[in-house]
Structures are given as C-alpha cells and as structure tokens.
Amino acid sequence: MTSTIERIAPFKNEVIKTFSDPADAEKMKAALAAVRARFGEHYPLVIDGQKVETEKKIRSLNPANPDDVVGLTSSASKEQANAAVEAAARAFESWKRTTPQERANYLFKAAEMMRTRRFDYDALLVLEVGKSWPEADGDIAEAIDFLEFYAREALRYAEPHPVVPMEGEQNEMVYIPLGVGAVIPPWNFAGAIMVGMTAAAIVTGNTVVLKPSSDSAIIAAWFVDLLHEIGVPKGVVNFIPGSGSVIGDLIVSHPQVRFISFTGSKEVGLHINELAAKPQPGQKWIKRVVAEMGGKDSIVVAADADIDAAVEGVAVSAFGFQGQKCSACSRAIVDEKIYDEFLDKLKARVAKITVGDPSDQKTYMGPVVNEGALKSIGEYIEIGKKEGRLIAGGKRVGEKGYFLEPTVIADVAPDARISQEEIFGPVLAVIKAKNFDHAMEIANNTEFGLTGSLYTTDDKKIERAKEDFFVGNLYFNRKSTGAFVGAHPFGGFNMSGTDSKAGGRDYLLLFMQAKTMSRKL
C-alpha cells in the first residue's frame, strides 16, 4: 500500500529570483508601490481568532527612511498575553486531534498562497527591514521551503515507526504534540524564520502564541492573516506583538506554555533558558527551549586557496544584508603567506559595493535595521579603529536612514573585542594566521559555534577541518551564508544555541514527544 508521503512530489527548493528577468523586475516595482500605498495601516492583535485593537501601538519604520511608517501594530498588555495563552490552550484540545494530513494540507495551502503573493512579501521585506531585492526574495523563498518541507516531514513522522517485534505483544510508537508554544522570531529573517518556527509548531499539532520582533511585526501580521484566510482554526495561532519587558517574561514563564521557540541574541536566549527552567505554580512539565542565538563566524583562507574566490566569498558573507545575519562572516582568518594580496583584493572588491535605498534594484547594501543598531555598530567601529587598521569604510552614509559603509579592519588580534563580540552589522575583522594550524586555533577561540568556511585546494586541510572546525554548519570553498532548507540543516554549537537544525529531518522532533503503546495478545 502506498503511504501518504509517497504520493506527494519530493521536496524541491524554491528558485531565488535574481530579477534579471524584466518581467520580474516590473512585478517587484508594482509590489513596492502597492506596499507603499498601505503605509500607516493598523494591524490588531489576534487572540482566539478575534482582532483586538489597543491604544498602545508599535510603529514599524522603513530603515531607509524612518519618516515612513510601514504600519502600526497593537501592542499587547499582560492581560492580553495571558488571554492569548489561554486561547491557545483551549484550541490545543481540538487541534491536537486533527490528523497530520489535515495539518500538512494547511501548510501546503499556505505555501501556495505565499507563492501567489511572493512579490508583495518581497516588497514588504525591502521596506520593513531594508533587504535588497534578491535578499528579500531569498527570505520569502526560504519561508515557502519551510512550509513545504515541514508538511512533508509531518507526514513522514505520521507513518508507522519500526519497533523490535515481541512475541505475544502488539507494540507501536507514535509522536504526539507538546502543547502551547511561545514562538519568538527575529527581525533579520522576518519571513523565513518566523514562518518556519510557526509552521513547525502547528504542523506537529501544537498551538502558538506568536510574539514577533517590533522591527518586523507587519510581515508577521500578514502571515497570521494568511493562515486564517486558508482556514486554520481560531486560537491555533495567536498574534501578540508587544514589548519584551512587558510580556516577554510572562509568556516564557506562563505555566500553560509547554515550549519556547526563540531566535535572537545570546543574552536574550540565555535569559529565556534560565526563566523556562524554573517551574511555576500549576506547571506540569519541564519546558523545552529551542534556541538559535548568535554567531561570530570565521572564514579561514589557507595559503593554497583560490584567493579571488575567497575574497568574493568573504565579501558576500560579510556584507550581504549589511552583515545582519547570524551566519555572516565577521572574521576572515588569512594565512600570512597570502595576507597582503588578500587584503589588496578585498579592499578593491568592497569598494564596488553600492550602499543606498534597497527599493532601488541596483542597491546591494541597504540600511541597518534601526537607530539603536546604527549607534551600537558605530561604537564597535570606533573600538575596531583602535584594535586594528581601518582599510575600508568606517563612516555613516547620509543623514537620513540608517546607512553605514561596509567596513574592513585589518591586523586584528584574535582576542580583540571585535574578534570576539557579535557586532551584527557590516564590520569585518581580518586576522593574520601564521599557518593552517594557527588559523584553526583562532577559528575556534570564540564562545560561539554557528557557521564557518574554509577556502583551500588541499583535501587534507578539508579533512582536518571536518574534525576540528567546531561549528554547526561548515562550508568548503563557498560563503558562510545561504543555508538551504533540506540541504543545509541549520543550527550551531556552544553559545550559538541548541543546535536545533532548522530545515532538517530532526527538527520536528523538537516539537513532539514519543509515546510507546503495548497490547498483550
């Protein structure tokens, strides 16, 4: 008998648009105009399927022009956050009884709906968080991939699981949902990570309280509306943007919340982990925390590397989306034999990067996300000037918008602050290594362990790195960013998180628990 999963086409990644096709470019321009026409719209909370307006609002601003209010979301109070958790708990009682096939079908429908509105979602990311056109489309393509991949994974987990036969007994093992989850996504992959975290939770039978970043709440509001449009029952996903200081700790520690799925900074992730570990009155379980946190990612360039390829990989990894990726290259560790040549070529490559409004198709690097980020990154640049030699960038661009030049600081010591602390912006430290052994030692000298790359033509170095380069996602002779769902399950070691491996075959296990049943014959 053919299983359900066998009757569905194999998973295939969405192709990311380059916008070289004039038809795509025209559709994107039209979508940008359409999103601009909606600037200033209000988006209410959604609790138990009901839209709730509040007096307090969160303003989502265009980082390229902060005078533009992309939209306003209602800001949840403690009482509303409690109501959202209670609504999710009620909805769980029926949602957990829906079949995996039903839940997977909702994800397939959501994926198809996002495809039809792809340019609109792309345009919103350009205007809400400052992504370039290809970066925005990559984000939305990944969101669609998560929906498609997790739907198939849910069906796979619903198939019978092998157990060792025992005479005189009928035995089986099934996976069941956990309960109510707090989903707390970041602003930097405001489409992909928000959609992926939410989809993984609901397709496995859980219900969700979704608290998006205040910098990217509008795209989350769009997605919640889309889920209700395709018929996801009320209470399954509750939308409660709000201040972390007001409702963040409340939803994490709430006794009815069974798990927390978080992507963000190390500091917040550790706080969530600590808070979740303390049981509250009425709590019946040990809470599960799925955390993807920071990175201080290195690209190692060995003496035998193709220098031009390494320069390109470093530049793209360091300055794509303004370096605002947890996987971004923030350290280039270069063998001293090729160090000077590498620096010369890197400086020339960085000089070609265009900085400007990302709504312009020609722009490669847009603004950083907000004024706080602009200030923090600027402070790190000043620290870096004292810790190394500034060879490119270092200044703000213009007076309106949160623009910075792509910045490269050379001759940085392995233990310098800009070598160790996550900056989350367009700042690259270049470190000189005595040899490959020294380079590997430097690569592992931070508290993080998310991504890394090695450029080399020597297979022995690759084998050594496979053993000793301690990161969750390791690449050879390619950039350190750009993990694809299914191909590169994503998650890191150490202070980079719980190695959750989003987009991998193990990910949905984090949202389920196994139940074994035996019947005497």
The active-site residue, picked from 14, 292, 405, 422, is 292
Residue by residue, DSSP assigns 351-384 as TT--BS-TTSTT-SB---SSHHHHHHHHHHHHHH
Question: Cα separation of 227 and 377, whole Å?
Answer: 37
Question: Cα separation of 63 and 430, whole Å?
Answer: 28
User: 165 vs 94, 159, 323, 520, CA distance in Å?
Assistant: 33, 17, 53, 12
Cα-to-chain-centroid distance, residue 236: 22
Count of CA atoms in the C-beta half-sphere (13 A) of 69: 10
- The yes-or-no answer on residue 326 being catalytic is yes
Phi, psi for residue 126 in degrees, rounded to 5: -60, -45
Judge contact between 74 and 59, C-beta under 8 A.
no
Token couple for 288: 């599960």
Residue 129: left if φ>0, alpha if ψ -120 to 50, beta else—which one?
alpha
Question: Cα separation of 315 and 406, whole Å?
Answer: 9
Judge contact between 242 and 76, C-beta under 8 A.
yes
User: Which among 497, 457, 444, 493 is positioned nearest to 473, based on CA atoms?
Assistant: 493
Indicate the SS3 state at residue 90: helix
Query: Pairing mode, if any, of strands 288-292 and 257-263?
Result: parallel
Contacts of 179 (CB under 8 A, 6+ apart): 89, 92, 206, 207, 256, 257, 258, 259, 285
Token couple for 136: 């925005």
Token couple for 47: 């609790």
- In the chain, the N- to C-terminal Cα span, in Å, equals 25
240-275 b/e with 16+ CB inside 10 Å = b? bbbebeebbebbbbbebbbbbbbbbebebbebbbeb
- The yes-or-no answer on residue 292 being catalytic is yes
Phi, psi for residue 492 in degrees, rounded to 5: -120, 175
Residues in the chain: 521
Count of CA atoms in the C-beta half-sphere (13 A) of 177: 28
Count CB atoms within 10 A of the CB of residue 280. Answer: 13
Long-range contacts at 516-519 (CB < 8 A, ≥ 24 apart)? 516/163, 516/171, 516/172, 516/173, 517/171, 517/172, 517/173, 517/174, 518/166, 518/169, 518/170, 518/171, 519/169, 519/170, 519/171
Count CB atoms within 10 A of the CB of residue 487. Answer: 10
The active-site residue, picked from 148, 326, 329, 405, is 326
Judge contact between 409 and 382, C-beta under 8 A.
no
Q: Catalytic positions, please?
A: 292, 326
